[in-house]
Chains A and B, each alone.
Chain A
């Protein structure tokens, strides 16, 4: 069954604005990862947050994780047109071998 559910399904903003995407999941996890997919391309890993972490930063990205609510958020600050892509959260509920369960993604459009 599908684990992650991203919200919103689509987001349209202007360059310079912040973009926030949310992800909810159903079962206990070891870690949660965010990926970006540009149109017609493969997924690219952005950031991984472990179940015992609450917040993580990487450049203009900020990820939070609330295991009590089984939710995560991805914030992209000062967005650029090049950030236009689909963003997926993926949960890893296993140990030993990475087994990711992806959500349906949020399509982000950043207009110049």
Chain B
């Protein structure tokens, strides 16, 4: 009965590798997001998708490429990983239509780049 799920929970990898994080929501929401939380707990929006279409793309290196195969899934692929990519990545979702909607967050994926 998990609302927003992410896999994997932990990801440890070497610099230069390519990795993916998967996100799925079973809430029937139309909008999904990726956030990055740094070591100081600062949470910053990376991408937002509505109905599989990109809505928001903050200043994120093009090594990060989100993909939404359907509105229940939003995956994040990262190429050529760098040390500075180490962080916790959160997926979230919300209902479409109007700005008075809470966001539901996944448990996070802790990425460590060595």
Residues of A within 8 A of B (CB): 2, 30-31, 33, 35, 37, 40-45, 48, 50, 86, 88, 92, 94-102, 104-105
Contacts and interface: CB of A to CB of B under 8 A. Distances in A.
Contact of B4 (A42, A50, A96, A100): A42
B27 interface: no
B102 interface: yes
A92 B99 contact: yes
B99 A30 contact: yes
Given A42-B105, A44-B105, A97-B55, A104 B98 contact: no
Interface residues of B, number: 28
A6 to B, nearest CB: 10
Contact of B99 (A2, A42, A96, A105): A96
B99 A101 contact: no
Given A102-B44, A104-B42, A33 B102 contact: yes
Contact of B43 (A48, A88, A94, A95): A88
B101 interface: yes
Given A43-B103, A48-B100, 17 more contacts: A31-B99, A37-B41, A41-B107, A42-B4, A42-B90, A42-B107, A43-B43, A43-B90, A86-B41, A94-B99, A95-B99, A97-B50, A98-B103, A99-B56, A101-B45, A102-B42, A104-B42
A94 B96 CA distance: 13
